[in-house]
Structure 1
Amino acid sequence: MAWAEAGADSVHWRLLAYTGADSNVSEIRVMDLRDWGPGGRPVTLQYLQLNLDRFLLLRVRVEPSVYDHDSTRSFWDMVYSLKDNQLVWRKDHVYIPKKERPRLTPLTIGQDRVYFAHRTSNHGYDLVAFKLRTAERLYQMPLISKIASGDKGYLVPYQRDILDLIHLDGGDELIIQFNSDRLVSWGPGLPETFSIINGANGQVIQKIDCAGLGRPRIAKSTSTSFILASEVSSAPKPYHHCLDVVTLQTFSRQPNGSFFRTAIRVVTLEARAAYAAAVAIHPLTLRAFSFVAGNHAPQALTLVPNWDPNDRRRMRKWWPHLTVDEFYRVEVARPVTLPPRQRGRRKFKVTAQWKFASLILLDERRVVFDIIGSKYDALYLLDFTPEWW
């Protein structure tokens, strides 16, 4: 697990145990980005992502020297191995004018490749892939993606929910582009379609309609299928009184290599303020956490089948042209507790005022609770394992 504060000049990371208690967790280590800065020039982290093999993809902005008025701003794209504690490769973007960004924008890091978006002169983006260990350019493929009005000055550290990677049997790495019309940032509206892209060659395998099923957040795969989880913040009129929901769509690979939607599950949640609350539901296990505006701590949710005819009728009115296979609801919302000391378990609370909160799935067992507060920022690691609640 790796993290950094906004505008940081260092990266913190620690090795987490995949199973069992936290006794096997390593100490927190720090990688100082200033060690690579030329002549003591200030550096700022712009992008950070970690893959399962402990390779980091980073973008670092190098500011002009305060002692040299002729120096210009530059950017570094780097791959760093935490396992070997060494820099694998670095690409420099030099002489970048103020208020401008390089044409390349880091998107994600996969098993053997790193992916970038390349801004073109015809108001679109190409998908570019490099070898993870050698930086060899593998391909540059044009995508039907538009440059949104805010892309030019888009803040990369807050780039989330744009795409995800899945792996099926046979070692295939596929890119799920959550909005077929956006590769760097979201547009103001909800996506009409999402794309499945072959990570090996950048070719779009398929575009699938997802209109009305919410804003995609994550994709999780099994051996031959994947599940796309989307959150619907509020229903369209006249159903604005509906509960907020999460849709879970299963897409199975067919013999010809295409994907077909084989199931839709709907999870109804308690009404909440969409701008201030967060929810994380693992689409395979249905383990869930939520954080509601006005509360001081996240809650662990127990989901059960929803047989309420009113809810089912309401959801069918919402999606009259779709067959929903399973309905779920929240049966119990339990407070998250801390490991016991001498007097049993303690309730977990956020004591400071917060401006932004999010829940990010780490794996099928754990979720990261991210708080941006008025006085400090914090990361908490929550565990789905029942004995830790």
Structure 2
Amino acid sequence: MTNPSYFESVTSELKFRDRFVTEGAKLFSEIPHVAASEWGRDHLFACRVIRRETRHDVLPILSRHESSSDMKLFPEIYEFLRGPDSTYRSQSEHGLVRDSGCGSSLAQIWAAMAMVKGGKDLRIERREESSGDESDNTPDVSAKRIRRNTAQEYYVNSTDIQVGSSSPMAESSHGHSSIGYVDNETHMFLSSPEDETLRLASCVIRHILYYAPPQDSGHLQTVIEFRDAKRRLTGTTASLGRKIVAIDDGGLNRRKVQGDIFAIDKERVAIIEAKAQFQCVENGRPTISDSCLAQMTCEALVARLSDPYGELKKGSAILIHAAQHYMCFLQFDISDQYLSDFESASPSTFIYVTSTNWFDLSSRSGREQVVKNLSCLMCWAM
């Protein structure tokens, strides 16, 4: 019998202890030393990870920065929330930038969204055809555009997907998830390369950082910016001296005016982790797989271990996780006591993980929640 995902099942200290014994889990000092990409369920138990059961619209550490609903927003944010025209998936990025009148950063979002949601339909199929002379064995390779089916039968909006007689998922009582009932086969069919997921996430985050409060001014002494470059993080554990290495998919950093330049003074405002698609769907509900949660745990742990200047406020690391056109935010709370305790023979502390709901970037409600979380994140980090 397959165990339920760690993310959904280990949501309290009592459940952790029960599953630890039932599955014969090991302590951190007992598991083999492997790269972050090979971390899995065993490492989640070894690191004593507990996912807090309640999901939020805004991470708790950011919630005190929530602004009033009547706050004035720049037109660029209103247009982002309003969404693209219905024809955006049939246009080129060049055309969207030059002709749509929505600005380059917003046009790039819709172009990236089109590739993620309809990438297979936007690619040219190449076929070998006869030149008409049957004696000529040299094939004529010509490019032909795939015929478009305007009904787009292969695409089903996640908010409308049903399996059997099941109904789309109701919104969580803990928040407003913008994601619906997901059929795993349909989801996998629509999957795009991981780089396309990352491209969409970076375009969305950049646009919000450019125009949303508190960065809706052109004259700031401190700014939060997106980092494209993947970064190798290295940390050493306190007791056993284990060297742990993790590589992220980019992140957010903070820059301040120092003299006549903007210098980076905080490198890890948030860490980005992108996947090509949901790696785990349980009963039509997408969730974070054991391997993905373990990888993000490793990244958060290394960030805490290699934080000599105390950049991570109150021991909390924030990760932004993207999968296709969905996004969620996670808060990893790792105390100083935990760092000195988790390798011991009888550890007593835990890593606590809090998450938001999944937000669908192709829906207005999903975009609203992403803007809210990133605006709060900017306020928190400044």
TM-score, normalised by the number of residues in structure 1: 0.26
Structure with more of its chain in strand, by fraction: 1
Relative contact order (alpha carbons < 8 A, sep ≥ 6): 1 or 2 greater?
Answer: 2
TM-score, normalised by the number of residues in structure 2: 0.26
Task: From the CA coordinates, give the structure whose radius of gyration is larger.
Answer: 2
Structure with more of its chain in helix, by fraction: 2
